[in-house]
Structure 1
């Protein structure tokens, strides 16, 4: 799938569409029927770093950019050229924009920022509801599951926040041996938390207890996604590795299953109904059928 003119940065799926964000300052909309490109959301003045799909009151595509812009787009057909709503983070000297987005079905949009904070915004009117401070560097990835918001940072830690009152719960990763290495992607799935790191490792926690660290790439892991017991990771070494995650209440282990050799850096991954979408630094999106 070709349509972007710069690196792909993220994926979201909803309403029968695939949404892809890019350094080219756009979000492309693709049909999940035949993978054709059907619309382009334009308006960002900076690189679009993250994209999500939300269906709470209205079906929305939400994109965040490197200048702190947050844009809400209607996904109703025919799709419009202008965002339904947009607002901007307040800028300061440490500032480097939005790096991550997520929602949790509670009326808030959560952003991970270059100013080291996690912010909660009202999805209704875009007002800033809460700022969660604690990280010492860029908040690069967010995940929400079962009442908890997880934030990963370049400072090497993962912070857990209550989705009820946004209070801090605990910090993971700061007690692990070795020097801190940036957390670049997170998966929160049932009672399992997987973190993908800049040094090519994944770290796995079960019920917030550290279980395993595995070296699975020769460079930074920029994206990871899970479907069932299958874990997909990809990054600088241009490879997507497929691993089976298994174990019991006492231990968690991984088993290499397969790998896909690509021609460019892997920048985004998404699983949907037996298909694996891979976004690349060379602007392309590839779709693989991964079966059962």
Structure 2
């Protein structure tokens, strides 16, 4: 019997940050530009040729972007790769023009550290959440058009993500109250369901590319998988996979037939497929992860201030 396992080959190390690398993003239409965020309060941009087999051992940043006065917690890029939005413990969001390499807008309204930010697929809506226990909806001009507190989480709201293929009209939040909440968007944010499953705070939520599968993870060391019920429009529990350590961020490989999940954890990088761990790379504590447009290259951000570039492969092991 042959099992296909995921392997990781280190291609390059990206050096430049002076603090833990907490956020990574790469545009699917502009695959040569990687953007990172760190506890050194900066964003950095990097030129990466993911199609080249020959990679330099060390890559240096092309630009360092300054503006935030505290740790950067999350960042996301527009679909065309022209803009980035970052969230910070300085209670703000910032919109960055990656052509001019400057901050062009500051979003003010949170009364505590901002922990997460998300961009709708059409790049017209922005979500944020934070330690003030609120979820905020913004337009791209920096105006807060809705703020949710009554139906929000009872503890810090650590993650917000739009649901794929929902035309920007559905999103999910997760918090330190161990709950996941699903929402619909119209003129306001309407609570759709509350999911209680995890036994510890939740750090991260991810969706398969078609939105049919959701995964959630955090402190309890379990990654929970959920399936979309097309009848109710709600997510129903499928199964847990135990990784036995804190999970900081998860991302689905963009192949709807495989649903391979990659996880950044306190022990390293974990790959999960078909309810099983099929790959593990021990590293310094890994806080962030993203896929390149070529799908076989991933980037991971670590507490040792480094970003690592990995070639992901499939190796078959034969068992009698």
- 2:300 match: 233
Give, in whole Å, the separation in 2 of the partners of 1:55 and 1:204: 26
Q: 2:251 aligns with which of 187, 190, 198?
A: 187
How far apart, CA to CA, are the structure 2 residues paired with 1:246 and 1:27?
Answer: 36
> Any conservation in 1 of the 2:179–2:196 contact (CA below 8 Å)?
yes
Superposition map of 1:67-216 within 5 A: 67-75=132-140, 79-80=141-142, 82-88=143-149, 90=151, 95-104=154-163, 105-106=165-166, 107-124=169-186, 125-145=188-208, 146=210, 147-164=212-229, 165-173=234-242, 180-189=244-253, 190=255, 191=258, 192-199=260-267, 201-216=268-283
TM-score (norm 2): 0.69
Distance in 1 (alpha carbons) for counterparts of 2:134 and 2:148: 6
Deviates further, 6-15 or 110-119: 6-15
Kindly provide the CA deviation profile for residues 224-244 of structure 1, in whole angstroms up to 9, marking residues without a partner as x. 111121111112111111111
Q: For the residues of structure 2 that align with 1:24 and 1:148, how far apart are their CA atoms?
A: 33
Q: Secondary structure at the match of 1:127?
A: strand
Shift in Å, 1:139: 0.8
> 8 Å contact 2:95–2:104 — kept in the other structure?
yes
Determine if contact 1:7/1:23 at 8 Å carries over to the other structure: yes
**Gaps spanning 5+ residues in structure 1: where?**
252-292
**Conservation of the 8 A alpha-carbon contact between 2:134 and 2:152:** no
- Scaled by the length of structure 1, the TM-score of the pair is 0.76
After superposition, give the CA deviation of every residue in 1:213-256 in whole Å (9 maximum; x if it has no partner). Answer: 21022xx21111111211111121111111110115x46xxxxx
8 A Cα contact 2:135 2:152, kept in partner: no
In structure 2, what is the equivalent of residue 284 of structure 1? Answer: none
Q: Which runs of 4+ in 1 moved over 2 A?
A: 89-92, 206-209
* Superposition deviation, residue 208 in structure 1: 3.3
Contact 1:10 1:51 in 2 (8 A): yes
The structure, 1 or 2, with the larger RCO (C-alpha pairs under 8 Å, 6+ apart) is 2
Please state whether the residue corresponding to 1:238 is helix, strand or coil.
coil
Indicate if the aligned counterparts of 2:271 and 2:280 stay in contact, CA closer than 8 A: yes
**Aligned Cα root-mean-square deviation (Å):** 1.8
Instruction: Provide the residue aligned with 2:61 in structure 1.
Output: none
5+ residue gaps, structure 2: 1-64
- Determine if contact 1:216/1:241 at 8 Å carries over to the other structure: no
Q: For residues 96 and 235 of structure 1, do their structure 2 counterparts lie closer, same or farther at Cα, with a shift above 3 Å needed?
A: farther
Whole-angstrom distance in 2 between the partners of 1:239 and 1:149: 29
Instruction: Report the count of equivalent residues.
Output: 235
> Residue 73 of structure 1 contacts residue 83 of structure 1 at CA under 8 Å; is this kept in 2?
yes
